[in-house]
């Protein structure tokens, strides 16, 4: 890594674009601090994967992990949707917040599409473009070539390209750069640990910035996708957007430090610290979910004959923790009057909270559960 040269600045008309070096090449890891962090990150990811295996019905809870990731990754791009708002149906979202809400929903759809696509496609330019198309469909960036690499210059920060904080490479080099990135992902003759490989892929993707919009979200989505693709995690239960958002200044500074000073080691250290911290938080969240399950299962037993229907409702709430009386009726087969009485029982037990304050169209949230996924 000490011989690594990140690239070069190329003078253009009134600005300089950055041309990154190709990364599909041999690498030598020669930093003991990185090796120490790498070892710790590997241990924590192994623990996270093991804990997730012990959680019953893990797919119920993955949905909430994806919702949280969607809100955090979109927040980095400027949207303001909260986790509880992301769980609402479109008609229940205030009109002034729907654009942000739709971007979060697209991120959820893009993640679902990406994980499903891994069964038929490797991580590749084709898969990346598919994910981008889903991400940008029907939202504010829909006119910025969804699913296609850019054919013009873009920039990051600044009111215009002349005062931008960073100008990515010219569009004519994207095909070569993305081809190199794809080869690097799959090149088994390069002996670089997987966590450093995805750290380098994320840096390179953000530097190439191959799309006119949505690069940050796609780049962050690649991280859990790669972890699942490599079998490091069996399920997509680790997302770094929350860490990047809480350390936003350091995140951008460390990316720029690579470009300006070729300091890849500092980026690796930052990335691995994020992996460690995020895995530890994930483990704590799963522990809290298991504890909550035990407490809830015990609490609903006081309902006697209604406990079975209460358990059915709670099970549905683990996947989508906002509900109304019509949904309770659908889940339990009860008519609306007993469904409302069951909701009252769950409110009395502190398991549901009415969130609209309205007389009609009331919505109820499983607040103790959603609290586990708020930053």
pLDDT (tens digit per residue) in 49-64: 998 888 777 777 788 8
Tens of pLDDT, residue by residue over 8-36, are 999 998 899 999 999 999 999 889 999 99
Q: Are residues 233 and 350 in the same domain?
A: no
Domain boundary among 257, 280, 303: 280
Residue 355 lies in a domain: yes
248 confidence band (pLDDT: 50, 70, 90)? very high
Domain span at 305: 286-373
Specify whether the CB–CB gap between 366 and 355 falls below 8 A: no
- 67-94 exposure pattern, b = at least 16 Cβ within 10 A, e = fewer: bbbbbbbbbbbebebebbbbbbeeeebe
CA 210/CA 168 separation, integer angstroms: 8
Domain boundary among 280, 300, 321: 280
Instruction: List the CATH number of the domain containing 367.
Output: 1.10.10.10
Q: Are residues 269 and 344 in the same domain?
A: no
Q: Are residues 244 and 128 in the same domain?
A: yes
Instruction: List the CATH number of the domain containing 150.
Output: 1.10.3290.10
Residue 21 lies in a domain: no
Residue 2 lies in a domain: no
Strands (E), the chain: 7-11, 16-20, 322-323, 353-354, 364-365
Domain boundary among 232, 257, 280: 280
Q: Are residues 114 and 203 in the same domain?
A: yes
pLDDT at 249: 95
Q: Are residues 311 and 222 in the same domain?
A: no
Q: What total number of domains does the chain contain?
A: 2
Residue 1 lies in a domain: no
Measure the N-to-C terminal CA separation of the chain; round to a whole number of Å: 35
Residue 361 lies in a domain: yes
Consecutive H or E run containing 197? helix 194-208
101 confidence band (pLDDT: 50, 70, 90)? confident
For residue 361 the two structure tokens come to 């169209």
pTM score, whole prediction:
0.91
């Amino acid at each position: 890594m000490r011989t690594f040269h990140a690239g070069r600045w190329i003078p253009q008309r009134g600005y300089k674009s950055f041309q990154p070096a190709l990364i599909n090449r041999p690498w030598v890891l020669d930093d003991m601090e990185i090796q120490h962090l790498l070892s710790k990150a590997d241990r924590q990811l192994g623990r996270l994967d093991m804990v997730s295996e012990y959680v019953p019905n893990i797919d119920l809870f993955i949905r909430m992990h994806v919702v949280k990731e969607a809100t955090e990754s979109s927040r980095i791009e400027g949207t303001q949707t909260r986790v509880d708002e992301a769980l609402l149906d479109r008609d229940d979202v205030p009109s002034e917040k729907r654009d942000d809400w739709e971007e979060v929903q697209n991120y959820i759809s893009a993640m679902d599409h990406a994980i499903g696509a891994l069964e038929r496609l490797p991580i590749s330019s084709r898969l990346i473009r598919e994910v981008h198309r889903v991400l940008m469909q029907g939202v504010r960036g829909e006119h910025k070539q969804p699913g296609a690499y850019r054919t013009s210059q873009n920039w990051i920060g600044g009111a215009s390209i002349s005062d931008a904080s960073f100008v990515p490479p010219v569009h004519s080099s994207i095909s070569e750069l993305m081809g190199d990135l794809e080869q690097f992902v799959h090149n088994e003759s390069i002996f670089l640990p997987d966590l450093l490989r995805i750290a380098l892929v994320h840096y390179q993707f953000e530097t190439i910035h191959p799309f006119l919009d949505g690069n940050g979200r796609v780049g962050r989505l690649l991280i859990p996708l790669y972890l699942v693709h490599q079998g490091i995690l069996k399920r997509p239960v680790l997302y770094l957007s929350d860490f990047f958002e809480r350390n936003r200044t350091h995140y951008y500074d460390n990316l720029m430090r690579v470009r300006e000073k070729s300091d890849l080691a500092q980026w690796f250290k930052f990335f691995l610290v994020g992996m460690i911290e995020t895995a530890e938080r994930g483990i704590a969240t799963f522990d809290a979910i298991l504890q909550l399950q035990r407490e809830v299962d015990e609490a609903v037993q006081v309902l006697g004959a209604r406990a079975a229907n209460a358990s059915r409702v709670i099970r549905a709430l683990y996947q989508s923790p906002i509900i109304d009386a019509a949904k309770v009726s659908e889940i339990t087969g009860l008519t609306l009057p007993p469904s409302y009485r069951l909701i009252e029982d769950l409110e009395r037990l502190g398991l549901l909270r009415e969130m609209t304050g309205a007389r009609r169209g009331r919505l109820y949230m499983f607040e103790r559960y959603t609290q586990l996924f708020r930053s």
